[in-house]
């Protein structure tokens, strides 16, 4: 139809503003969908990090805090659990296994985790997947270390390389445990969890490097050599937290209460799943804010489109008058402008989707390695499609404003051609 | 092609009759137009002398049914268009009127052909008549050629690069395509120099006569009078009051 062809030609005549408008809408759509992808990816990454553990026990604190430092290596523990209390819990009949975790040291920005060889047996991620070794094996000697895939990649370590652990958690440390170097005994396969960024050593090794230390510093004049330390009793006095597996899940709440009411020491036991839910509750507000901001950006883009159509309206009064003179109804004029808004919005949405998936394909490996965030590349979900549909409709209605103005102008102009 | 007089229900003498028409632009109190009685005979060339401020565009808007009067009768080809709903008036205009503006007649981004064919999208009978002997495009090219547009400009050429004189020829072809009964031209030659004015009018007259249409041309230039069958003065037909407005 000639009228539609002319409307498209009219749009092509203003191609620069039209393209920019489409681009603005596309970027806003990309942002809106991208935020959702990151949100889903982040949740999935978090939820995938721990599996198969029934309870996490630590010093008394909030459950989110305990979850964050014990599993995600985010933040620090407020206090430790004594070894005696942990043994007490481990000896309870319903407990199948206990994996103690000792945190506080680092190696060139990567956290050092003191644990037992059971860790490699019981730690599960992403629907009960266990840890596997890419090369080497668990620690056999006191000064053996097992490193995650990212540590190995970032620092270029091979099995057999020596490493020196630093006291504290800074990437650059001036307090080094340089008198007791470690040896890389094993390198783990990539998991997409904080395990990749962790240096694992035995609990005894953590004790060993701290024998001649007191409250965060070396005791002056006292130095115990690596050889001497081997002869000492390295049974840990305290650990930071522990993962607990039960014989029967039915006992979970009973044991949780028992630990929370433990008399000898103030302790907390949390269910990882419940703590994650609590975390989502906390993060939910930020997610909502993020969504609101991206929705605003979409609204801004649509507003920009309305502005663009409105500014061209004056020069298009001639077009309207000509169309009216050859018999176009005001309704046709209204429809043309709304269709223009609809076409621009639809093109923006389409381009936005293309840009989003292009960006995902381009950035996915990078985001995965740098942030440990796996962004899923999958077709838009029904809810997202519904949102996009709603935006398309909103775009058409946004066109209603300039369209109604053009309608009124074309009625008022009558047979006059204004320029 | 189509003789208006041959259509049933249309008087042979008058194509347009206005009586007791009162009009004021909505929201603009200051301006109003009144036509007590006015009639135009069919198949003739009429020059309406209308100096600026005489309510010329309002009068044409009423004739073409773009606006409706508050009261009175506007009878066009036997139909009282004031009785028609607004959208039917638009359809009526598409079928029975060819309109040529003073200047800026064309959609600059469209091709010459598309500009000429534009009214056919809104007028089924005009499309039928235009395609009676072939395609609508062929008819458009025929009219453009008859109106003196260079053949290479007629096909596929953008309307943006035409001179004012060429634009007016395209506008005339658009008004004439599908042979509407009434051609309304609002100062179509005012942007042309004397020689081109005369040439344009000659071609326009020939084609209007060939189509058997009635030409109503509005101008402030009384010297054109001798070339028309009849000369009327708008200020004698319509009483235009500007009220207290500027």
Q: Do B106 and A322 touch (CB under 8 A)?
A: yes
- Tell me the C-alpha distance between A310 and A316, whole Å: 10
User: H or E segment at A287?
Assistant: helix A272-313
| Residue B189 maps to a domain | yes
Instruction: List the 107-146 stretch of B: residues with Cβ below 8 A of A.
Output: 107-110, 114, 117-123
Confidence of residue A241 (pLDDT cuts 50, 70, 90): very high
Neighbouring C-beta atoms of residue A389, cutoff 10 Å: 11
Confidence of residue A335 (pLDDT cuts 50, 70, 90): confident
Residue of chain A with shortest Cα separation from B91: A327
Confidence of residue A368 (pLDDT cuts 50, 70, 90): confident
Print the domain residue range for B161.
Answer: 4-8+15-241
Full-model pTM: 0.72
pLDDT of residue B1: 40
pLDDT tens figures, A229-238? 777 778 888 8
pLDDT of residue A25: 93
| Residue B69 maps to a domain | yes
B123 phi and psi angles, rounded to 5 deg: -130, 105
Which residues have CB under 8 Å from A29's CB, separation 6+? A298, A348, A349, A351, A352, A353, A356, A388, A391
- Tell me the C-alpha distance between A131 and B43, whole Å: 97
User: How many residues make up chain B in this entry?
Assistant: 246
Distance from CA of A6 to the nearest CA of B (A): 6
* Cβ of residue B217 closer than 8 Å to a chain A Cβ: no
What number of helices (H) and strands (E) belong to chain B? 9, 10
Residue where the block lists tokens 């597996």: A245
pLDDT of residue B162: 86
* Cβ of residue A17 closer than 8 Å to a chain B Cβ: no
Q: Do A6 and B101 touch (CB under 8 A)?
A: no
Distance from CA of A311 to the nearest CA of B (A): 18
3-state class (DSSP) for residue B84: coil
Domain count of chain B? 1
- Tell me the C-alpha distance between A275 and B110, whole Å: 65
Ranking A120-134, A166-180, A257-271 by mean pLDDT, the lowest is A166-180
pLDDT tens figures, B24-78? 877 666 677 888 888 887 768 889 888 776 778 888 888 888 888 888 888 888 8
Residue with more model confidence, A104 or A257? A257
User: How many residues make up chain A in this entry?
Assistant: 419
Residue of B28, B54, B61 to mutate when probing chain A, most A C-beta within 10 A: B61
CATH of the domain at B209: 3.40.50.300
A271 phi and psi angles, rounded to 5 deg: -90, 125
CB-based burial label for A321 (10 Å; 0-12, 13-18, 19+): buried
Q: Do A415 and B186 touch (CB under 8 A)?
A: yes
- Tell me the C-alpha distance between B182 and B75, whole Å: 13
- Report the sign of the C-alpha dihedral through residues A359, A364, A365, A369, in that order: positive
pLDDT higher than threshold 60 for residue B222:
yes
pLDDT higher than threshold 70 for residue A219:
no
In this predicted complex, what is the ipTM?
Answer: 0.85
Task: Calculate what percentage of chain A has a pLDDT beyond 90.
Answer: 30
Distance from CA of A382 to the nearest CA of B (A): 40
At what angle are helices B86-96 and A330-371 packed, to 10 degrees? 100
pLDDT tens figures, A149-173? 989 988 899 999 988 887 766 555 5
* Cβ of residue B76 closer than 8 Å to a chain A Cβ: no
- Measured between beta carbons, which residues in chain B are less than 8 angstroms from residue A326? 94, 99, 118-119, 121-122, 174
| Residue B165 maps to a domain | yes
Contact A102, A239 (CB under 8 A): yes
pLDDT higher than threshold 80 for residue B189:
yes
| Residue B246 maps to a domain | no
- Tell me the C-alpha distance between B126 and B178, whole Å: 4
| Residue B21 maps to a domain | yes
pLDDT tens figures, A32-53? 998 888 888 888 888 888 888 8
């Amino acid at each position: 139809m000639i009228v539609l062809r002319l409307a498209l030609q009219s749009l092509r005549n203003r191609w620069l503003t039209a393209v920019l408008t489409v681009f603005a809408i596309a970027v806003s759509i990309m942002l809106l969908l991208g935020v959702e992808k990151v949100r889903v990816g982040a949740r999935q990454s978090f939820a995938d990090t721990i599996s198969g553990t029934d309870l996490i026990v630590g010093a008394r604190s909030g459950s989110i805090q305990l979850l964050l430092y014990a599993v995600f290596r985010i933040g620090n523990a407020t206090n430790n659990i004594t070894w005696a209390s942990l043994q007490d819990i481990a000896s309870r009949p319903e407990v199948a296994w206990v994996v103690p975790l000792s945190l506080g040291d680092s190696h060139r920005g990567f956290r050092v985790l003191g644990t037992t060889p059971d860790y490699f047996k019981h730690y599960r991620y992403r629907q009960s997947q266990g840890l596997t070794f890419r090369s080497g094996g668990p620690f056999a000697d006191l000064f053996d270390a097992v490193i995650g895939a990212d540590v190995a990649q970032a620092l270029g370590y091979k099995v057999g390389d020596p490493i020196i652990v630093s006291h504290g958690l800074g990437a650059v440390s001036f307090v080094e445990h340089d008198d007791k170097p470690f040896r890389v005994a094993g390198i783990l396969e990539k998991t997409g969890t904080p395990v990749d960024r962790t240096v694992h050593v035995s609990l005894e090794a953590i004790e060993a490097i701290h024998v001649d230390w007191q409250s965060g510093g070396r005791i002056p004049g006292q130095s115990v050599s690596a050889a001497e330390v081997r002869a000492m009793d390295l049974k840990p006095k305290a650990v930071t937290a522990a993962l607990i597996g039960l014989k029967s899940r039915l006992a979970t709440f009973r044991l949780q209460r028992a630990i929370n009411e433990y008399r000898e020491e103030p302790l907390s036991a949390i269910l990882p799943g419940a703590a994650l839910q609590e975390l989502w509750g906390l993060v939910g507000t930020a997610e909502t804010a993020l969504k609101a901001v991206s929705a605003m950006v979409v609204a801004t883009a649509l507003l920009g489109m309305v502005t663009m159509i409105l500014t061209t309206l004056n020069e298009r009064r001639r077009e309207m008058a000509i169309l009216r003179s050859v018999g176009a109804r005001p309704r046709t004029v209204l429809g043309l402008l709304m269709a223009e808004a609809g076409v621009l919005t639809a093109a923006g949405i389409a381009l936005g989707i293309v840009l989003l998936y292009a960006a995902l394909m381009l950035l996915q490996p990078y985001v995965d390695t740098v942030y440990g965030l796996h962004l899923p590349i999958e077709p838009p979900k029904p809810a997202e499609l519904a949102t996009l549909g709603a935006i398309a409709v909103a775009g058409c209605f946004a066109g209603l404003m300039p369209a109604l103005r053009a309608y009124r102008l074309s009625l008022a102009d009558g047979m006059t051609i204004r320029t | 092609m189509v003789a208006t007089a041959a259509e049933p229900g249309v008087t042979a003498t008058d194509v347009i009759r206005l009586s007791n028409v009162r009009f004021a632009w909505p929201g603009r109190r200051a301006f109003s137009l009144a036509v007590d009685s006015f009639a135009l005979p069919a198949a003739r060339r009429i020059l309406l002398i209308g100096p600026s401020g005489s309510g010329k565009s309002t009068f044409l808007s009423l004739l073409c049914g773009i606006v409706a009067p508050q009261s009175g009768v506007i009878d066009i080809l036997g139909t009282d268009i004031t009785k028609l709903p607004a959208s039917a008036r638009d359809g009526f205009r598409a079928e029975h009127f060819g309109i040529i503006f003073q200047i800026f007649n064309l959609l600059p981004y469209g091709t010459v052909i598309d500009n000429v064919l534009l009214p056919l999208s809104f007028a089924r009978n005009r499309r039928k008549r235009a395609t009676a002997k072939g395609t609508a495009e062929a008819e458009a090219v025929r009219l453009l050629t008859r109106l003196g547009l260079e053949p290479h400009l007629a096909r596929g050429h953008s309307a943006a690069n035409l001179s004012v004189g060429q634009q007016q020829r395209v506008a005339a072809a658009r008004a004439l395509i599908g042979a509407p009964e009434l051609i309304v031209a609002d100062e179509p030659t005012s942007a042309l120099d004397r020689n081109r004015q005369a040439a344009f009018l000659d071609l326009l007259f020939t084609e209007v006569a060939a189509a058997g249409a009635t030409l109503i041309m509005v101008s402030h230039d009384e010297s054109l009078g001798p070339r028309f069958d009849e000369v009327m003065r708008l200020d004698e037909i319509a009483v235009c009051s500007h009220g207290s407005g500027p």
